Amino acid sequence: MGQNLIHLTVNGIEMRVFVEGSGSPLLLVHGFPLNHRMWQSQIEYFKNEFTVIAPDLRGFGATEITRGTVTMKQHAEDLNMLLNELNLEERVLFCGLSMGGYIAWEFWKHFPERLRALILCDTRATSDTEEGINNRLKMVDLVLKHGPESISSSMIPNLISEASQRNHPDIAKNMIQMIESTDREGIAASQRGMAEREDYSSEIGGIQVPTLCIVGSEDQLTPPEVMKNMSTQIPNSKYTEIPGVGHMAPMEAPAEVNQEIHQFLMSCDQS
């Protein structure tokens, strides 16, 4: 597969997806409310060895928006259809960050035959508390009334560690730009979908594929204890913590994260 930023009709919507490289398929599933560009460093690093597939999910980036609620299952179904459209029969190495991880649970549940390995960055298996759900619905109201500019800057302290904000101001700038370029209806729809997502903590013990759990040591949203505990429940799982960085570990510490993922993928090749 060559180099491409392509537009495809997938599951009834126009989807933009970055596809590049050759070799085993590595599917990069972005977090909220971002787009495939959050994986820029991973795309650059892995495209020489893998077929890197990095879509803009429904309602994000340049992919068509669905108003209302977009569930995590809907996103997983879109990804399954995307792989069909790309004629990819080989099982995928699924790498998801945060919301991308919530989608990974649904992908595993509904399309287990498509999965070769899981890489879960800064995510959790539990559903939201009542307070968490209320906060999401407040954000939906705010963003629908006042647009993504009303949430972008205030999200940064939860997403990026203080050290990263101080030492690499370009990361926050890049993220704000991604958030502000996202349509308010797309943000609202997935935010509602996350609010109603299931709790997977009692099911993840059934995951059979090799799994890597990566978390930033300063992650405020899905802290190391949460990820560590989650990792111990997945049978064939490795846990790794990246020092000094927050929720956006792949953007904040790309070299370390890429190395961890690479080592893991090499070990999957041998298993």
Q: Can you give the binding site for ligand MLT, defined by CB under 6 A?
A: 31-32, 98-99, 194, 221, 247
Kind of pairing, strands 13-20 and 51-55?
Answer: antiparallel
**Minimal distance, residue 89 CB to ligand MLT, in Å:** 29
Q: Specify the residue, 32 or 94, whose C-beta has the smaller distance to ligand MLT.
A: 32
Minimum distance, C-beta of residue 155 to ligand MLT, in the bound complex (Å): 8
Least Å distance, CB 85 to ligand MLT, is: 24
Residues in the chain: 271
Nearer to ligand MLT, 58 or 247 (CB): 247
Least separation in angstroms between residue 124's CB and ligand MLT is: 8
* Closer to ligand MLT by Cβ: residue 178 or 209: 178
Kindly give the pairing relationship between strand 13-20 and strand 92-97. unpaired
Nearer to ligand MLT, 15 or 99 (CB): 99
Going by C-beta distance under 8 Å and a sequence separation of 6 or more, which residues neighbour residue 30?
Answer: 36, 38, 39, 54, 56, 57, 60, 97, 99, 100
SS3 state at 27: strand
H/E stretch holding 232:
helix 224-233
Q: Three-class SS of residue 215?
A: strand
Q: Which is nearer to ligand MLT, 98 or 152 (CB)?
A: 98
Least distance in Å: CB of 97 to ligand MLT?
6
Q: How far is CA 220 from the centre of its chain?
A: 16
d(CA 189, CA 182): 12
3-state secondary structure 102-126: HHHHHHHHHCHHHEEEEEEECCCCC
Nearer to ligand MLT, 135 or 233 (CB): 135
CB of 98 vs ligand MLT, minimal distance in Å: 3
